[in-house]
């Protein structure tokens, strides 16, 4: 979805260069030069963009819901780990970049959705995603958000990243998290409380071409992901007037459940053992959150999360 919008923006930029408006392209490149670090310094959100009526229809289409299980004290900073990635990451965008749900449930907290830095190199598109409250997922960007001394900042990181989107099949409960410990280290260095978030229904929005590990398709996808920085899942869903084939996501409800915070004390130089201990605790809390709520959202009792 992001790539389609990005391609449109890049195409528009090329038209400016090749057309009679090349001087506008030059001015924009100059602006880009001076504004390059903004995605790593809190971005440039616009409440006007975040409140567009189209996002209301976007949330109601599925529909998308945000569920609170515990208060989050605005005097602290938080690092929210979002799971799973899915294909569209609709729950993260719908709940943390649009609408009043997060603000109403967690007053005093400002959410920042971190995405891959590569997206901020796309002309015009970078302005759009920053206006929605998205910032870079670089270490510098996460540090900037979590370094707010007064608290009140919430970094939302899709932990599984692009790699996990290749597992986004309906019914899949596999999370790429065992080797992902950078977010744990960031939480420790900044004393940011950790909050597990599970978005039920995220993997049900599209059907993906079978790509089991070891298959030729999966091998190609993984190689391309390493080269380009983002994955290319081959997915399909419904059309505008029919349900058999298309790229419009299925109308499946999404319930994004925000768990209880894990208190974290600031540790500028955490040891490997300390990182491992907190990582294990986070996995434990994430699994508990899933088990407590899976029955409410159609997950069979015998099914559990798979960490890899």
Residues 31 and 47 in one domain: no
Instruction: Name, in order, each residue with C-beta under 8 angstroms of 263's C-beta and a sequence gap of 6 or more.
Output: 193
Count of C-beta atoms within a 10 Å radius of residue 295: 10
Whether residues 105 and 184 fall in one domain:
yes
Q: What is the tally of structural domains in the chain? A: 2
pLDDT tier at 2 (50, 70, 90 boundaries)? low
Task: Assess whether 117 and 15 both reside in one domain.
Answer: no
Residues 46 and 14 in one domain: no
Average of per-residue pLDDT values in the chain: 91
Longest dimension (CA), the chain: 63
* Pair 138, 40: CB distance under 8 Å: yes
Lowest mean pLDDT among 137-141, 171-175, 247-251: 247-251
User: Using an 8 Å Cβ cutoff, are 293 and 257 in contact?
Assistant: yes
**Same structural domain for residues 51 and 31?**
no
- Read off the CATH number of the domain in which 109 is found: 3.40.1130
- Say yes or no: 147 and 3 in one domain: no
Q: What is the pLDDT of residues 130-166, one digit of tens each?
A: 999 999 999 999 999 999 999 999 999 999 988 899 9
Same domain? For 118 and 158 the reply is: yes
What tokens were used for 3? 């790539």
Q: Is 129 in the same domain as 187?
A: yes
Task: Quickly state the pLDDT bin for 121 (edges 50, 70, 90).
Answer: confident
**What is the arithmetic mean of pLDDT over 215-229?**
85
Task: For 68-79, write each residue's pLDDT tens digit.
Answer: 999 999 999 999
Note whether 144 and 1 are same-domain residues. no
Question: Nearest Cα to 201, choosing from 94, 122, 120?
Answer: 94
Please check whether residues 208 and 82 belong to one and the same domain: yes
Are 160 and 175 contacting, i.e. CB atoms less than 8 angstroms apart?
yes
Write out pLDDT tens, residues 179-213: 999 999 999 999 999 999 999 999 999 999 999 99
- 182: domain range? 40-307
106 and 71 in a common domain? yes
Nearest to 110 by CA among 156, 149, 70, 176: 156
Environment class of 152 (CB within 10 Å of its CB; exposed 0-12, middle 13-18, buried 19+): middle
Residues 118 and 19 reside in one and the same domain: no
CA–CA dist 120, 135 (Å, integer): 8
Place of tokens 């505008």: 240
The three-state DSSP-derived secondary structure of the chain is CHHHHHHHHHHHHHHHHHCCCHHHHHHHHHHHHHCCCHHHCCCCCCHHHHCCHHHHHHHHHCCEEEEECCCCCCCCCEEEEEECCCCCCHHHHHHHCCCCHHHHHCCCCEEEEEECHHHHHCCCHHHHHHHCCEEECCHHHHHHHHCCCCCCEEEEEECCHHHHHCCCCCCCCEECCCCCCHHHHHHHHHCCEEEEEEEECHHHCCEECCCCCCCHHHHHHHHHHHHHCCCCCCEECECCCCCCCCCECCCCCEEEEECCCECCCCCCCCCHHHHHHHHHHHHHHHHHHHHHHHHHHCCCCCCCCEEC
């Amino acid at each position: 979805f992001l790539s389609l919008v990005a391609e449109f923006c890049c195409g528009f930029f090329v038209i400016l260069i090749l057309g009679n408006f090349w001087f506008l392209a030059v001015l924009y490149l100059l602006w880009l030069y001076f504004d390059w670090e903004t995605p790593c310094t809190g971005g440039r959100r616009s409440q006007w963009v975040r409140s567009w009526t189209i996002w209301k229809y976007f949330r109601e289409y599925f529909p998308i819901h945000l569920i609170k299980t515990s208060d989050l004290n605005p005097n602290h900073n938080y690092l929210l780990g979002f799971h799973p990635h899915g294909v569209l990451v609709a729950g993260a965008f719908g709940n943390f970049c649009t609408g009043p749900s997060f603000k109403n449930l967690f007053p005093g907290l400002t959410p920042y959705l971190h995405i891959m830095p590569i997206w901020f190199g796309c002309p015009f598109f970078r302005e759009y995603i920053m206006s929605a409250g998205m910032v870079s997922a670089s270490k510098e960007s996460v540090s900037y958000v979590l370094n707010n001394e007064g608290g009140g900042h919430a970094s939302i990181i899709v932990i599984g990243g692009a790699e996990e989107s290749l597992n986004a099949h309906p019914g899949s409960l596999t999370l790429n998290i065992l080797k992902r410990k950078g977010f744990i280290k960031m939480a420790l260095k900044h004393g940011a409380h950790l909050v597990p978030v599970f978005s039920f229904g995220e993997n049900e929005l599209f059907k993906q071409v079978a790509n089991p590990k070891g298959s030729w398709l999966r091998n190609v996808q993984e190689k391309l992901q390493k080269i380009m920085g983002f994955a290319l899942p081959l997915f399909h869903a419904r059309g505008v007037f029919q349900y058999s084939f298309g790229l419009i996501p299925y109308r499946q409800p999404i319930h994004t459940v925000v768990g209880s915070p894990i208190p974290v004390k600031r540790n500028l130089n955490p040891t490997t053992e300390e990182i491992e201990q907190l990582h294990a605790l986070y996995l434990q809390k994430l699994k508990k959150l899933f088990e407590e709520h899976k029955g409410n959202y159609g997950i069979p009792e015998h099914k559990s999360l798979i960490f890899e």
